[in-house]
Amino acid sequence: MKKLFAAVILLASTPLFAADVGVSVSIGQPGFYGQIDIGNQYSRPALIYSQPVVIQPVQVVRQPMYLHVPRGHAKNWRKHCRQYGACGTPVYFVQDNWYNNVYVPEYRQHKHKDRGHPSKGHGNGHGNGHKD
């Protein structure tokens, strides 16, 4: 009994370490998922579906939202729309290839012009943080 008690005390007093494996990625980087701003400076996006997807009809007409999401989220949008705050909003899903090969380079070029120097840098906090 004393051995069991000693083992429990030893285990309880040993700090448990959890590995923090969370990675944050900002808009304009590969691997970012979320809303992107198309505006007028980007070429017409390649879309997964030609028509916007709306899960919950609403009384107020909302502007469509462009999202880059994992393919499985687009396929099962009803399950994932709350995570993006977009269940009652018309959503266009942009294709991975377009996001990575068109949007990301144009976004980076536009952000570098705004910063006033051509050096490589990160975004200014839009999206979900950044990844170094």
Instruction: Give pLDDT tens digits for 40-94.
Output: 777 788 998 888 888 877 677 788 999 999 999 999 999 999 999 999 999 999 9
Helix, strand, coil percentages, rounded to 5, for the chain? 35, 10, 55
pTM, two decimal places: 0.57
Is residue 131 within 8 A of residue 33, CB to CB? The reply is no
Cα–Cα distance measured from residue 78 to residue 97, given in angstroms and rounded to the nearest whole number: 24
Q: What are phi and psi for residue 83, nearest 5 degrees?
A: -60, -25
Is residue 68 within 8 A of residue 101, CB to CB? The reply is no
